[in-house]
Structure 1
Amino acid sequence: MSKRFLSSLLQAPRALRSEGNIVIKNGLMVSNSKFASVWKADYSKRVNKIVFEDEVESLPEGVNPGLYNEYFKFMNSTKLKDLGAILPRKSLLHTFLQKIQNKEEFELGLKLLERWRKHYVLPLSERTTWILLSKCQYLNDPEPLTRVLLDRWRYKAFPTDYIYTSIFKLISNSIHDLIAIEGQESELANKYLDDLFRLFASIPQYNLEQGAWAYSSLITSLVDSGMEEGWVRAVQVAEEAMVDSIPPKINYEAALKLQEEYAKRGDSTNSNVYKEMISNYNLKPKEPTHVAFDEEGRMYYKPIAKKTN
């Protein structure tokens, strides 16, 4: 079998595929079994890690003093010596993250999240990861959540298909804004383009399927980025999604995006391919929904009621 585009792209130079399990080098991701063994072997070392005074003694520039005081108290109160230590209130992490107003405060939030995660007994949920997403959207900066999702051991995120789709879109918008100012050769825009594929590769690590939603989110984000290299990759990903599955792993939104982009580029032949796909597979637009959370912080979707006359 010939080497597929996504596999080959992820293999060079920073990733490899082995026995159907994607592993990203440099500690970005580990397999589930390795994750479990590393966690168990290193647990006592991690819970006994302390924060030295020079880590928290000076107020970082741009950080609200009140928020920093909360951070200082938390980091110093969680120098665990054993599992019998007094733990902070369960709402502290979410309350802190929701108060973040800039990148400097986000950095403190990620340090706090890492410490919280290392205690293991403290609750994390899909709601936690959604709060991180909402703050990235507020700051128009995809980097913090991208970092979290690509380091499962450090942060223990709980993403959903909605969270992945949303961070893909935020990265796409960031690429579009960057190339409008810096051009197609923007170093950061190209880094973000690679981040889309690194994030796509991380999806199975969270027990999520790389189904039509994942391929379609990736394709749509690549096309919308406005980057020529993004379009080249979108075409190759779409071809792979069509070959791999019947029906193809492409939803209505992605098929329509490809149809329109090919038409815009004067390629009526390929435009008609996706027009026929929509018709042949009776693809329909997604029903509008909004997210909500149960008492355990699990995300679910609620349909948006249609307006009546």
Structure 2
Amino acid sequence: MAGKLDPSSPPERVRAELWSLFIATLLRVDKDAASPPRRRVLHWILLNAETKEELDMALTLTLHWRKNTFPITQATTHIWAQACVRTNYPDIFVTMLMDRWKYRQLPVVQTIAYFIRFLGGEAASAYAKSTESGDDMAIRGDQLLDDIFRVFALLPYYDVAQGASAYGALVEACCEINTEEAWRRALVASEEVLSCDPPQITLEALKALENRSRERGETEMADRYQSLATRADIKPTRKSEATFDKKGNLVPDKE
């Protein structure tokens, strides 16, 4: 593939330096290449991508990277999520997560929670714009809301627990979206875990439920969430950014 690409003719909205690096890396990804690329090359492209077209290019590289058994680490997947958030292009990350065997991503719960909250904000924005722009933005909002639950449902396939952090992000995202369907889903998701002992939810999610309930005039429900938030066994989301070691593995949080 790389041999058919012209290094001097980058596609529209792809910078020349990234295009040249992309082609050079494709040539070195081949199993028979004398000098294989280092993992940081893929990371560098993702960290510097500024457009959707540059991320599409990185997706092509990622596919070839995996086909030739170069490593994808937990850090790689987190950097992918950050790049998609930065360029406002969540669809490509959802695509990778939905096809585990093709892309072999390694998400950790911090990555998923971060991405789910982003999807919630994007869905809320799409629904808000639909009042001015019409049905297309409402359809986009519906898609993003569904993507939130698709991503959440994938966690067991990646051996990631659907615990308090994941459920908390799910509920927070739904509460940010001001639609009846999102609110219904927030209630269903929260009730699944509030019956556990201890409840598998975060303080931020309970606060989001309380605030949305009060906005809707549902005082009794709001008081219930406020009371639950006083429990000592319900913790806030950790605010520190996920960190990874030199091998790309998540460094566990210190208590």
SS in 1 for 2:209: helix
Secondary structure class of the residue paired with 1:292: coil
Q: Deviations over 1:174-215 (max 9, x none)?
A: 112112211495111101111011101100111111112211
Summarize the Cα distance change of 1:286–1:233 in structure 2 as closer, same or farther, 3 Å threshold.
closer
Tell me what 1:224 maps to.
Answer: 176
Cα distance in structure 2, aligned partners of 1:279 and 1:75:
54
Q: Once the 2 structures are TM-superposed, how far is the Cα of residue 287 of structure 1 from its aligned partner?
A: 4.7
CA distance in 2, matches of 1:70, 1:286: 38
Q: Which amino acid aligns with 2:149?
A: F
Alpha-carbon distance between aligned partners in 2 of 1:74 and 1:282, rounded to the nearest angstrom: 49
- Residue deviations 1:125-174 (CA, integer Å, cap 9, x gap): 11111211221222123222222222111111111111001111111111
- Alpha-carbon distance in 2 for matches of 1:153, 1:161: 19
Q: Distance in 1 between matches of 2:107 and 2:189?
A: 22
Instruction: Tell me how far 1:225 sits from its aligned partner.
Output: 2.2
Report the TM-score when normalising by structure 1. 0.73
Deviations 1:82-131 (A, max 9, x none): xx8642233221122222110001000011011111111x2221111121
Q: CA deviation at 1:59?
A: 2.9
Letter in 2 for 1:215: Y
Distance 1:61 1:87 in 2: 28
Say if 2:228 is the partner of 1:277.
yes
Measure, in 2, the Cα distance between the counterparts of 1:103 and 1:289. 28
Over alpha carbons, which structure has the higher Rg?
1
Paired residue for 1:177, among 125, 131, 144?
125
Q: Distance in 2 between matches of 1:302 and 1:247?
A: 20
Paired with 1:286 and 1:67, the residues of 2 have a C-alpha distance of 36
Which residue, 237, 242, 245 being the options, matches 1:291? 242
For structure 1, the 5+ residue unaligned runs are 1-50, 304-309
Q: 1:117–1:156: 8 Å Cα contact kept in structure 2?
A: yes
Matching of residues 195-210 of structure 1 within 5 Å: 195-210=147-162
Structure with bigger strand share is 1
Name 1:111's counterpart in structure 2: 60
How many pairs are equivalent? 248
* Cα gap change, 1:123 to 1:284, in 2 (>3 Å): closer
Name the counterpart of 1:98. Answer: 47
1:152 counterpart (97, 100, 107): 100
Q: Does the CA-based 8 Å contact 1:247-1:281 persist in structure 2?
A: no
CA distance in 2, matches of 1:80, 1:301: 34
- For 1:220, the aligned partner's letter is E
Letter in structure 2 aligned against 1:69: S
1:220-276 per-residue CA deviation (whole Å, 9 max, x = no partner) reads 101112233211111111122234x22222221111211221122111121122122
- Identical residues among aligned pairs (%): 28
Change over 3 Å in CA distance of 1:91–1:284 after alignment to 2: closer
3-state SS of paired residue (1:285)? coil
1:191 to 143, 165, 172: 143
Is the helix fraction higher in 1 or 2?
Answer: 2
Match of 1:61 in 2: 12
